[in-house]
Structures are given as C-alpha cells and as structure tokens.
C-alpha cells in the first residue's frame, strides 16, 4: 500500500528563503521514500514548492482544490491527480481521508486553521494519525507556547506531546512520523 502524507503549508512563499527551501526539501524526501503527497493543489508559495519538488523526483502528488477558491488560487496543472471539491470543508475531509499522517509547514491563517483542526480531531479521538510541525526558523514557537498555555489553564484534554511533534529540519519529519527509511535510501 502506498503511504500517503498530507502537507498543510502557506500559499505564499514567505519572506525568508528557508521556508521555500524547507518545503522543497520535504517534497524531495517524500518522493525519494516513495510516499505520496496529498496537499491543497495550489501552484503558488510553499504549496507549489513541495509539490514541484515531489514531482521533480518522480513522486506522486494528489491535489485537493475547492471550486469556490478557483478565482483566488491557481491549481497546479502538472499533478498526478487533481480532485475538485465543492468547498473548503470537503477539501479538508478528502485530504484527511487520503492521508496516513500530517505535516504542517509555516503558512498563514489557512494553514493554522487546517493544523488546529487535525490536532483537535486527534484530541477528540476521531483519528490517531501522526502530526508533525516543521518549525523552520522557529515559526511554530508561538503555537507551542499557546499549547502550553491551553494546558496550564486547564482547557486541553490531552498533552500537546501526545497530539503533535515539533521538529526543526526537513530530514527529521519522516522519522518523527514513524516512517522507516526505504531500502534504497539506506544503501547510500
Ligand atoms: P494560507 O496558509 O492562508 O496561505 O492557506 C493555505 C491553504 O489553506 C490555502 O490553500 C487555503 O485555500 C487553505 N485554506 C484557507 N482557509 C481554509 C479553511 N478554512 N479550510 C481549509 N483550507 C483552508
């Protein structure tokens, strides 16, 4: 069975070059490990960078794009599969169904909303899939601090560490998700 990872990340490139290069590095690693990428289907920003890098190494990429966003977000035309959904809610549902694990890269409100939704689904035991935040340039430290505050104030039903893992380098993502390196990567 093909393993599949859903990546949530910004539709903008951000101002620091490390964000685009981390997205590309992750895309390359997914392809090298034979792991399918599921993402929002856009061509721009970090979203485009992770998809382009996976495709460039011969990886499989599934994009899930809502019709209602067609005017704002340009769909990537070179994907292995592009799924159109009626709205954002169906998009998230379809992305979650197709994924064995979730990776969150820096991004805007859309990314944060998607990340918090899967974290809250996991807390509610709607699923038990691994979630990793790639903390490039310390982007997620305020979210880590907020999670600590949520716990300290008694509003969390699970410890943050049980819900998501935070790593700082792209190469740490797949081990944190529990993927074992594919044999061809071990040979090198
Ligand atoms: P952003 O991080 O704001 O650049 O958005 C990243 C992606 O999340 C884009 O593809 C947005 O269309 C998507 N997005 C924004 N809001 C939502 C939402 N409420 N549900 C699902 N996806 C969203």
Q: What is the pLDDT of residues 79-134, one digit of tens each?
A: 999 999 999 999 999 999 999 999 999 999 999 999 999 999 999 999 899 999 99
Q: What is the pLDDT of residues 122-147, one digit of tens each?
A: 999 998 999 999 999 999 999 999 99
Cα separation of 159 and 179, whole Å? Answer: 23
DSSP 169: S
* Cα maximum dimension of the chain: 49
Write out the DSSP string of 110-145. HHHHHHHHHHHHHHTTS----EEEE-GGGTTHHHHH
**What is residue 187's predicted lDDT score, i.e. its pLDDT?**
46
Ligand 1 atom nearest 41 alpha carbon: 10
pTM as predicted: 0.94
**What is residue 73's predicted lDDT score, i.e. its pLDDT?**
87
* Residues whose CB falls within 8 Å of the CB of residue 158, separated by 6 or more in sequence, listed in order: 122, 123
Q: What is the pLDDT of residues 36-81, one digit of tens each?
A: 999 999 999 999 999 999 999 999 999 999 998 888 889 999 999 9
- Paired tokens of 82: 């592009």
Beta bridge partners of 101: 5
- Candidate from 9, 104, 113 with most ligand 1 atoms within 8 A of CB, to mutate: 113
Ligand 1 atom nearest 11 alpha carbon: 4
113-117, 123-127, 152-156, 180-184: segment of lowest average pLDDT: 180-184
Domains and CATH numbers, the chain: 4-176 (3.40.50.450)
Beta bridge partners of 61: 37
**What is residue 134's predicted lDDT score, i.e. its pLDDT?**
98
Burial of 1 (0-12, 13-18, 19+ CB in 10 A): exposed
What residue ranges line ligand 1, CB within 6 angstroms? Answer: 10-12, 40, 42, 69, 73, 88, 91-92, 107-111, 113-114
Phi and psi angles of residue 63, each rounded to the nearest 5 degrees, phi first: -105, 145
Distance 185 CA to ligand 1 centre (A): 33
What percentage of the chain carries pLDDT values higher than 70? Answer: 96
Distance 113 CA to ligand 1 centre (A): 7
The position carrying tokens 């289907």 is 41
- Candidate from 111, 120, 133, 140 with most ligand 1 atoms within 8 A of CB, to mutate: 111
The pLDDT confidence band at residue 180, using thresholds 50, 70 and 90, is: confident
């Amino acid at each position: 069975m093909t393993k599949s990872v859903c990546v949530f990340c910004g539709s903008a490139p951000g101002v620091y070059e490390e964000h685009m290069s981390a997205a590309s590095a992750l895309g390359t690693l997914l392809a090298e490990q034979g792991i399918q990428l599921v993402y929002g289907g856009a061509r721009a920003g970090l979203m485009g960078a992770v998809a382009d890098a996976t495709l460039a190494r011969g990886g499989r990429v599934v994009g899930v794009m809502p019709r209602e966003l067609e005017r704002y977000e340009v769909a990537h035309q070179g994907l292995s599969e592009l799924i159109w959904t009626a709205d954002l809610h169906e998009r998230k549902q379809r992305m979650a169904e197709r994924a064995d694990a979730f990776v969150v890269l820096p991004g805007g409100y859309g990314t944060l909303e998607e990340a918090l939704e899967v974290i809250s689904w996991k807390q509610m035991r709607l699923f038990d899939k691994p979630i990793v935040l790639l903390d490039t340039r310390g982007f997620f430290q305020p979210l880590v601090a907020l999670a600590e505050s949520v716990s300290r104030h008694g509003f969390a039903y699970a410890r943050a560490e049980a819900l998501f893992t935070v790593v700082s380098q792209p190469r740490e993502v797949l081990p944190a998700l529990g993927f074992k390196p594919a044999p061809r990567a071990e040979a090198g």
